Amino acid sequence: MISATAADYGWIRSSSSPFGYALDVGYTLTLVRGLSPAEVFTVVEAEPQDPCEGFAELIDAHSEVQDSYEDWTESFLAGAFTVPGEDGDWTLILEFGGDLGTRPRFMEALSAGTRAVSHSSNGGKPMHFFHWYEDGRLRTTFEWTSSRTGSTPDELNAVLRELGLNPDGDDDPAVDSKAAVFALAERLTGVRVSGELLTDAVYQTGEVAEEPADDWETVTIDITDAHGERTYVQLRRDQL
């Protein structure tokens, strides 16, 4: 098998790419090995909804859920389908504006005895995250590749360099870091995500409840001073 590269995911920037919507509004894409969509929804306590025939229908269903709330949204829609990958079938879960793939308790449970990988963007500010969980443990996570955490923060350094990402400093501006992260996820899962795959999939869907304010698990401090220096820290409740 030829290893994935950022060039393989240049399609995400195409004007005709279905993923343009996800980049605009924010998304989380999660891959879990060995669990079916129904099993994933059970783990994340999602309320099953009607299937969606294709990406466009998933967008419409997402919008209906968002529009059903007058003020603050209380849930988001997740779409999931089965794809072949390394060592068996995987479930691909896609959300617009949701955070299923970034919640520690969900990812720990989904990766118990297996592997789960996610990447995300918030759509508005340039905040892009990557998470790799294995056997219920966070192995590597980052927003910036030069600032990684997890139980094995340096495990992927060689792969990052192969993809044109710099684990020791600023990334090369000539490299599309989002496309490179798609390729990184493929190298960890064996799942090739394409525009056609997302467009034509039949998505099993479920509504996932937003976390109540008193059930938060992490707090994020994100400050940029007058000199352009940014401080970004994410802390768990037990670290405060």
Contacts for 17 with CB less than 8 Å, ≥ 6 apart: 11, 195
> What's the average model confidence in pLDDT over 27-42?
98
Distance CA 61, CA 35 (A): 24
Scored b (16 or more CB within 10 A) or e, 163-202 reads bbbbbeeebeeeebbbbbbbbbbbbbbbbbbebeebeebe
Distance CA 125, CA 28 (A): 15
Distance CA 53, CA 6 (A): 28
Provide the pLDDT confidence category of residue 65 given band limits of 50, 70 and 90: confident
For residue 234, what are its two tokens? Answer: 């994410």
Name the residue ranges covered by the structural domains of the chain. 6-213
For residue 52, what are its two tokens? Answer: 């969606």
For residue 20, what are its two tokens? Answer: 């343009």
**Is residue 225 scored above 60 in pLDDT?**
no
Scored b (16 or more CB within 10 A) or e, 104-122 reads eebbbbbbeebbbbbbbbe
Which of 26-35, 120-129, 167-176 has maximum average pLDDT? Answer: 26-35
Q: Give pLDDT, residue 127.
A: 85
> What's the average model confidence in pLDDT over 67-78?
78
End-to-end CA distance of the chain: 45
Give the rounded percent of residues in the chain with a pLDDT score beyond 90: 73
Provide the pLDDT confidence category of residue 206 given band limits of 50, 70 and 90: very high
Secondary structure (DSSP) of 190-225: -----HHHHHH-EEEEEEEEPPPGGG--EEEEEEE-
pLDDT tens, residue by residue, 95-128: 998 899 999 999 999 999 999 999 999 876 778 9
Which of 7-21, 164-178, 201-215, 219-233 is least confident? 219-233
- Secondary structure element (H or E) that encloses residue 134, with its range: strand 128-134
Scored b (16 or more CB within 10 A) or e, 206-229 reads bbbeeeeeeeeeeeeeeeeeeeee
* Three-state SS at 70: coil
**Is residue 1 scored above 60 in pLDDT?**
no
Provide the pLDDT confidence category of residue 227 given band limits of 50, 70 and 90: low
> What's the average model confidence in pLDDT over 49-64?
96
Distance CA 94, CA 97 (A): 10
pTM value is 0.86
Q: Give pLDDT, residue 72.
A: 64
